[in-house]
Structure 1
Amino acid sequence: MRQLAAILFADMTGYTALMQENEQLARHKRQRLKEVLETTIARFNGKILQYYGDGSLSIFHSAIDSVHAAIDIQQQLQQAPQVDLRIGIHTGDVIIEEESIYGDGVNLASRIESLAVPGGVFVSEKVYDEVRNQQHIQTRELGYFELKNIKQPIRVFAIANNGIVVPGRNEVRGKTAAPVNRLAVLPFVNMSADPENEYFSDGITEELLNTLTRVDGLQVTSRTSAFAFKGKNDDIRDIAIQLNVDKILEGSVRKAGNRVRITAQLINAADGFHIWSETYDRKLDDIFEVQDEISGIIANKLKENLSGGQKQVPSIKSSIKNITAYTHYLKGLHFKNKLTPADNRKAIDCFKQAIALEPGYAQAYAMVAQTYATLGAMGQMIPHTAFEIAHQYADKALELDDSVAEGHIAKAMPNLFYEWKWQEAYKALQKAIELNPAETTAYDLLGFYYIAMAQKDQAVKTLEEAEQIDPLSPAIIKSLGTMYIFEERFDDAIRQAEKLLEMNPEMRSGIEMKAWAIGMKGDWQTALELFKEVHRLTNHPLKGLMGLGVAYSRVGMTDKAMECVHKLEQRQQEEPDSVVDGDLAAVWLGLGDLDKVFYYLNECIDKRMGPVACFIEYPPYKIVKADPRFHDLKHRMGI
Structure 2
Amino acid sequence: MEQQDQAGALLRGILSSPQFAQSRRMQRFLAVIVERALAGRTEDLKEYTIGVEVFDRPADYDPRIDSIVRVEARRLRRKLREYYAGPGKKDAVVISLPEGSYIPRFSGLSAPAAAPPALTPCPRLAVLPLETVPGSPDALMLAGALTDDFLASLARIPGLLVVTRSSTLRFSQPGRDLKSASAELGVDWILEGSLRRAGDGWRLNVLLAECATGFARWSASFSAGAVQLQTLHEPIAREVASRLGVPMPVPAGAASDSDAALSAFRHLLEGRHLMLQMTPRSLRRAAEAFRRATQADPMLAPAWAGLGGSMLLMSIFGDTAPTMVATEARGFLQRALELNPELPQAHVWRGFYHATYEWRWDAAEEDFLRALEINPNIFMGRVWLAAAVYAPLRRYGEAHNQLSLARGLDSASPVLHALEGLLAAQTGDLASGLRLLRAARGLSQTFYGAHHLEARVLAAHGDFQHALDVLEEARPRAGSDPRNLALIACLKARLGQTEEASEIAVSLRKTAEHAYVSVYDMATVYANLGDLPTAAACLMQAYSEHEPWLVYLRQDPLIRPLEGTPQYAEIERALFSQSEE
TM-score (norm. length: structure 1): 0.65
1:439 corresponding residue in structure 2: 378
1:426 corresponding residue in structure 2: 365
Q: State the AA in 1 paired with 2:277.
A: K
Residue 185 of structure 1 and its aligned partner are, at CA, apart by 0.8
Cα shift readout 1:124-182 (whole Å, capped 9, x = no counterpart): xxxxxxxxxxxxxxxxxxxxxxxxxxxxxxxxxxxxxxxxxxxxxxxxxxxxxx97311
1:634 corresponding residue in structure 2: 572
1:296 corresponding residue in structure 2: 234
Cα shift readout 1:585-608 (whole Å, capped 9, x = no counterpart): 222343455444433222211111
| 8 Å Cα contact 1:433/1:439 also seen in 2 | yes
Residue 541 of structure 1 and its aligned partner are, at CA, apart by 8.1
Taking the aligned partners of 1:634 and 1:252, their CA distance within structure 2 comes to 55
Q: Find 2:217's aligned residue among 276, 289, 292.
A: 276
Structure 2 CA distance for partners of 1:304 and 1:618, relative to 1, 3 Å: same
| 8 Å Cα contact 1:524/1:554 also seen in 2 | yes
Q: State the AA in 2 paired with 1:512.
A: H
Taking the aligned partners of 1:636 and 1:597, their CA distance within structure 2 comes to 18
Q: Does 1:374 align with 2:313?
A: yes
| 8 Å Cα contact 1:207/1:316 also seen in 2 | no
1:118 corresponding residue in structure 2: none
Residue 536 of structure 1 and its aligned partner are, at CA, apart by 4.9
Q: Find 2:281's aligned residue among 324, 330, 342.
A: 342
Q: Does 1:569 align with 2:509?
A: yes
2:179 corresponding residue in structure 1: 237
Larger strand share, 1 or 2: 1
5+ unaligned residues in a row in structure 1: which ranges?
1-177
Q: Which moved more, 1:548-557 or 1:495-504?
A: 495-504
1:581 corresponding residue in structure 2: 519
2:545 corresponding residue in structure 1: 607
Structure 2 CA distance for partners of 1:483 and 1:383, relative to 1, 3 Å: same
- Write the mapping of 1:485-504 to structure 2, written as runs, cut at 5 A: 485-504=425-444
Residue 382 of structure 1 and its aligned partner are, at CA, apart by 2.1
1:323 corresponding residue in structure 2: 262
| 8 Å Cα contact 2:264/2:296 also seen in 1 | yes
Q: Find 1:513's aligned residue among 429, 453, 461.
A: 453
Q: Which protein, 1 or 2, shows the higher relative CO under an 8 Å CA cutoff with sep ≥ 6?
A: 2
Q: State the AA in 2 paired with 1:599.
A: A
1:385 corresponding residue in structure 2: 324
- Write the mapping of 1:475-494 to structure 2, written as runs, cut at 5 A: 475-494=415-434
Residue 219 of structure 1 and its aligned partner are, at CA, apart by 0.8
Residue 412 of structure 1 and its aligned partner are, at CA, apart by 2.2
Residue 247 of structure 1 and its aligned partner are, at CA, apart by 1.9
Taking the aligned partners of 2:377 and 2:121, their CA distance within structure 1 comes to 19
Residue 540 of structure 1 and its aligned partner are, at CA, apart by 2.5
1:413 corresponding residue in structure 2: 352
| 8 Å Cα contact 1:494/1:513 also seen in 2 | no
Residue 434 of structure 1 and its aligned partner are, at CA, apart by 1.8
Taking the aligned partners of 1:551 and 1:235, their CA distance within structure 2 comes to 47
Residue 505 of structure 1 and its aligned partner are, at CA, apart by 5.7
Cα shift readout 1:377-426 (whole Å, capped 9, x = no counterpart): 34622212211110111111111122221222232232222122222221
Taking the aligned partners of 1:451 and 1:477, their CA distance within structure 2 comes to 15
Cα shift readout 1:431-473 (whole Å, capped 9, x = no counterpart): 1122222221212221121122222332232222212211112
Q: State the AA in 2 paired with 1:205.
A: T
Taking the aligned partners of 1:289 and 1:597, their CA distance within structure 2 comes to 59
Residue 626 of structure 1 and its aligned partner are, at CA, apart by 5.7
Structure 2 CA distance for partners of 1:512 and 1:452, relative to 1, 3 Å: closer
Larger helix share, 1 or 2: 2
| 8 Å Cα contact 1:213/1:220 also seen in 2 | yes
Taking the aligned partners of 1:425 and 1:397, their CA distance within structure 2 comes to 17
Q: Does 1:463 align with 2:395?
A: no
Taking the aligned partners of 1:179 and 1:637, their CA distance within structure 2 comes to 37
Structure 2 CA distance for partners of 1:549 and 1:312, relative to 1, 3 Å: closer
| 8 Å Cα contact 1:184/1:226 also seen in 2 | yes
Partner-residue secondary structure (3-state), 2:442? helix
Structure 2 CA distance for partners of 1:312 and 1:528, relative to 1, 3 Å: closer
2:489 corresponding residue in structure 1: 549
Residue 625 of structure 1 and its aligned partner are, at CA, apart by 4.6
Residue 373 of structure 1 and its aligned partner are, at CA, apart by 0.8
Taking the aligned partners of 1:555 and 1:579, their CA distance within structure 2 comes to 23
Partner-residue secondary structure (3-state), 1:183? strand
Taking the aligned partners of 1:313 and 1:289, their CA distance within structure 2 comes to 22
Taking the aligned partners of 1:589 and 1:485, their CA distance within structure 2 comes to 23
Structure 2 CA distance for partners of 1:537 and 1:197, relative to 1, 3 Å: closer
| 8 Å Cα contact 1:348/1:371 also seen in 2 | yes
Count of residue pairs brought into register by the alignment:
454
Structure 2 CA distance for partners of 1:370 and 1:256, relative to 1, 3 Å: same
Taking the aligned partners of 2:136 and 2:506, their CA distance within structure 1 comes to 54
Partner-residue secondary structure (3-state), 1:503? coil
Taking the aligned partners of 2:428 and 2:537, their CA distance within structure 1 comes to 26
Q: State the AA in 2 paired with 1:277.
A: W
Partner-residue secondary structure (3-state), 1:254? strand
Residue 196 of structure 1 and its aligned partner are, at CA, apart by 0.4
Q: Find 1:358's aligned residue among 284, 297, 304.
A: 297
Partner-residue secondary structure (3-state), 1:556? coil
Taking the aligned partners of 2:471 and 2:239, their CA distance within structure 1 comes to 52
Structure 2 CA distance for partners of 1:327 and 1:618, relative to 1, 3 Å: same
Q: Does 1:210 align with 2:156?
A: no
Which is higher, the Rg of structure 1 or of structure 2?
1
Q: State the AA in 1 paired with 2:219.
A: E
Taking the aligned partners of 2:262 and 2:346, their CA distance within structure 1 comes to 21
Residue 340 of structure 1 and its aligned partner are, at CA, apart by 0.9
| 8 Å Cα contact 2:527/2:561 also seen in 1 | no
| 8 Å Cα contact 2:526/2:535 also seen in 1 | yes
Cα shift readout 1:54-99 (whole Å, capped 9, x = no counterpart): xxxxxxxxxxxxxxxxxxxxxxxxxxxxxxxxxxxxxxxxxxxxxx
2:36 corresponding residue in structure 1: none
Q: State the AA in 2 paired with 1:633.
A: I
Taking the aligned partners of 1:556 and 1:193, their CA distance within structure 2 comes to 55
Taking the aligned partners of 1:211 and 1:599, their CA distance within structure 2 comes to 50
Residue 224 of structure 1 and its aligned partner are, at CA, apart by 2.3
Q: State the AA in 2 paired with 1:499.
A: A
| 8 Å Cα contact 2:414/2:440 also seen in 1 | yes
Taking the aligned partners of 1:232 and 1:614, their CA distance within structure 2 comes to 44
Structure 2 CA distance for partners of 1:460 and 1:565, relative to 1, 3 Å: farther
Among the aligned pairs, what percent are the same residue? Answer: 23
